Amino acid sequence: MNMNRSEIQQELINNMIDGMDHTTMWQVLFDFMDADYDKYTDEELMEEVKDYYPHILEEEELTTKEIDDKLGYETYSK
């Protein structure tokens, strides 16, 4: 059998996925998405939330301080 790198990689991934249970798949997907969203700026992340899952911010009308708290910022007031 003469497989190229791409074919070997695809087979490896398919075999790994076939051996995973749902909990493991969920964790892998979560980790992948978490790493991907870490690359977003705060503004890009907020835009993504507003565009696709606005209910996350609609629990009640959030103040700037509450949004900063959700993003992990320290808010300083004068």
Beta strands in the chain (DSSP E): none
Q: What is the per-residue pLDDT for 62?
A: 59
Q: Tell me the longest C-alpha to C-alpha distance in the chain.
A: 71
CA distance 48 to 46: 5
User: Which residues of the chain register pLDDT less than 70?
Assistant: 59-65, 74-78
Cβ–Cβ under 8 Å, residues 75 and 69: yes
Closest CA to 56 of 29, 66, 28, 38: 66
pTM over 0.95: no
Residue 46's pLDDT is what? 94
